[in-house]
Structure 1
């Protein structure tokens, strides 16, 4: 059952109960399931209608239903409202109020028995004899009251089980968060001990080489290596900070505005790189621009590794619904073959692009060389 179906049943039930009380009250007054009354029809309809309205509103207030039920039974032996009141008393009243209700109900039953006994006839036989009074008391007071108490106990048990399940769920989430935090801390320590230490040594050696370089070209290369290493250390510190704490705040992330700086770093290594912008440039979301930057960065990294002397073209195409990034390199004369179309770098890159709803294709070109194409939704 869906929440919508439960809500519909919740709204219909009170009025269905009211309709049932009205029909049974009229049947009781007509003598079909009770004592036939000699009062005029409009009076009987008014009493039955009052019982029905009080029963429909019993969830909000039990007092009117109990009062109408007491009057209807003592006056007309009209029992449906009294039965509904006993049931709701079992589901809602606390112990002290419950005993007060039972005492009042016994008094009403005794009053009705006295009136029925004095009235004589069929009413005295049905509701005025001791045996029938005891039987009526059990049927009108005891059974509905026990049913209401059972329903209340069941609701309390279900509520306790739901609370327990929710508590277990919260504890499970907390344990999972603690496990993730511990794993992040472990990864951060290992990365710091291994990667950060090695990169720091690389920066130190690059600085020493820059100072003692025999020629200007070597000094420039050492300076470039040192600058790149320091930037890598800065990025690594950001990653380690995020790993150490879930609430860590990331520093400024690269966007398309930083793309030219990335291309200049590649050109400084002797690789010919050209940028081509197509379409009308427009501001995009930070996630879109950061993903596009990482696509170009990873593709250029593969060029560094496998085709260092190949001319490379970077295309940034502003489509109506997406940003397309293409990194394409020509065949490399110094490489043993084209760039591989698999590897952890491209696998991670594909996961990054697909995470934002995009697509990534990477593979060799028919005319030679390698190409990476990423389409990133920009809407």
Structure 2
């Protein structure tokens, strides 16, 4: 579109320049002027592919009619296109010859004011200035392109450095988790297995077997997490391929809590229906974290788990009663970030999570998750 407008402008200016240069009519028939202006416009439009046809038309029109618009545009395109001093010198020399020829040849457009001084002035105005402007425009475009390329290269290098630092940090965390957490959990599983074999109390043996099973499950989950941390980015791992727990696995989680002495009651309200995995997985994690907090802080207090299926949301409530008596022994340590992480997970889905103490010493964790 830009070169179409350029062709139209060159054709119009060529018509005015050829019809009456300096107020002196050319004496050419109107159809001839229209043809010359049309050829100049087409050559200017074609300059997006090759500028030399416009230069040829401009040279002929200038020598014959002192028609300057085609030669002016050709000089600008030459400044943007020509590479090397030799080509520029050859073009300037050719243009100087073209500007000097009207003094010797004469034509319909020659006027009494035409002379060496005017010829030099026209050469500067029609050839020199457009050529310099074209060279400056090309140099500016090259500088901007080089600056853009350099900025993109620096950005890529910065991203690569950030990725390397992230990978190193992930590898360090994976090593720490493997050397510390996995080792301690493995010891728990081994001691639970030894207790199951050596004890003569059936109830203690059952409890030891439960502890061993939970420990082995924790080791499997930890192995998946370590695989995610150690795997390169965007590379699928066993953790990504294995299905995460959802509400379909909730009964097994509740049975584990019941085996540890907590009286857990589950109630479902509304019509159960399949939902997106992210919704079910988030609801599962809310209940899991709430039961973990009950184990840590409320001992064997009775706990109610409510799952309410709404039309456009899923509500989950975990409410535990006050502990029946102060818990004796060492408290279970925790980082204190479980509910914070859950709140962020629920808010990412557009939901809300609320946790508050209840009258009488109980505690409530409630989540609303849009479906």
Pick the TM interval, shorter chain.
0.7 to 0.9
Establish whether residue 256 from structure 1 lines up as the match of residue 247 from structure 2.
Answer: yes
The separation in 2 between residues aligned to 1:140 and 1:126, in whole angstroms, is 17
TM-score by length of 1: 0.85
- Cα separation, partners in 2 of 1:281 and 1:63, compared to 1, 3 Å: farther
Question: Following TM superposition, by how much is the alpha carbon of 1:112 offset from its aligned partner in structure 2, in angstroms?
Answer: 3.8
1:183 to 169, 172, 190: 169
The separation in 2 between residues aligned to 1:138 and 1:230, in whole angstroms, is 88
Establish whether residue 54 from structure 1 lines up as the match of residue 43 from structure 2.
Answer: yes
Q: Is the 8 A contact 1:35 1:77 kept in 2?
A: no
Q: Is the 8 A contact 2:55 2:74 kept in 1?
A: yes
Partner of 2:350: 357
Establish whether residue 320 from structure 1 lines up as the match of residue 308 from structure 2.
Answer: no
Question: Following TM superposition, by how much is the alpha carbon of 1:277 offset from its aligned partner in structure 2, in angstroms?
Answer: 2.7
Question: Following TM superposition, by how much is the alpha carbon of 1:197 offset from its aligned partner in structure 2, in angstroms?
Answer: 1.3
Q: Is the 8 A contact 2:317 2:365 kept in 1?
A: yes
The separation in 2 between residues aligned to 1:60 and 1:317, in whole angstroms, is 69
- Cα separation, partners in 2 of 1:126 and 1:250, compared to 1, 3 Å: farther
Q: Give the count of matched residue pairs.
A: 358
- Structure 1, residues 57-107: CA drift from partner, whole Å, max 9, x if none? 422332443233233223321111210111011112333665554455345
Establish whether residue 115 from structure 1 lines up as the match of residue 109 from structure 2.
Answer: no
1:268 to 252, 255, 259: 259
Q: Is the 8 A contact 2:57 2:70 kept in 1?
A: yes
Question: Superposition RMSD on alpha carbons, in Å?
Answer: 2.6
The separation in 1 between residues aligned to 2:217 and 2:139, in whole angstroms, is 66
Partner of 2:148: 162
1:184-263 to structure 2, matched below 5 A, reads 184-246=170-232, 247=235, 249-251=237-239, 252=242, 253-263=244-254
- Cα separation, partners in 2 of 1:142 and 1:334, compared to 1, 3 Å: same
The separation in 2 between residues aligned to 1:66 and 1:276, in whole angstroms, is 88
Q: Is the 8 A contact 1:34 1:77 kept in 2?
A: no
The separation in 1 between residues aligned to 2:309 and 2:41, in whole angstroms, is 69
Task: Name the SS of the counterpart of 2:200 in structure 1.
Answer: coil
Q: Is the 8 A contact 2:19 2:33 kept in 1?
A: no
Q: Is the 8 A contact 1:74 1:111 kept in 2?
A: yes
1:319-358 to structure 2, matched below 5 A, reads 319-335=310-326, 343-358=336-351
Question: Following TM superposition, by how much is the alpha carbon of 1:314 offset from its aligned partner in structure 2, in angstroms?
Answer: 1.9
Establish whether residue 93 from structure 1 lines up as the match of residue 86 from structure 2.
Answer: no
Out of 132-141 and 35-44, give the one that drifted further.
35-44
1:77-92 to structure 2, matched below 5 A, reads 77-92=66-81
- Structure 1, residues 208-243: CA drift from partner, whole Å, max 9, x if none? 100011210000000000110111111111112212
- Cα separation, partners in 2 of 1:135 and 1:184, compared to 1, 3 Å: same
Out of 304-313 and 48-57, give the one that drifted further.
48-57
Establish whether residue 131 from structure 1 lines up as the match of residue 131 from structure 2.
Answer: no
Partner of 1:8: none
- Cα separation, partners in 2 of 1:69 and 1:190, compared to 1, 3 Å: same
Q: Is the 8 A contact 2:102 2:110 kept in 1?
A: no
Task: Name the SS of the counterpart of 2:323 in structure 1.
Answer: coil
Partner of 1:290: 281
Task: Name the SS of the counterpart of 2:237 in structure 1.
Answer: coil
Structure 1 unaligned blocks of 5 or more: 1-10, 337-341
Question: Following TM superposition, by how much is the alpha carbon of 1:38 offset from its aligned partner in structure 2, in angstroms?
Answer: 1.9
Establish whether residue 376 from structure 1 lines up as the match of residue 362 from structure 2.
Answer: no
Task: Name the SS of the counterpart of 1:58 in structure 2.
Answer: helix
Partner of 1:7: none
1:28 to 11, 17, 40: 17
TM-score by length of 2: 0.86
Q: Is the 8 A contact 2:351 2:368 kept in 1?
A: yes
Partner of 1:5: none
Q: Is the 8 A contact 1:28 1:35 kept in 2?
A: no
The separation in 1 between residues aligned to 2:369 and 2:23, in whole angstroms, is 77
Partner of 2:331: none
- Structure 1, residues 90-149: CA drift from partner, whole Å, max 9, x if none? 112333665554455345334444332xx48x715444x333223222221121111111
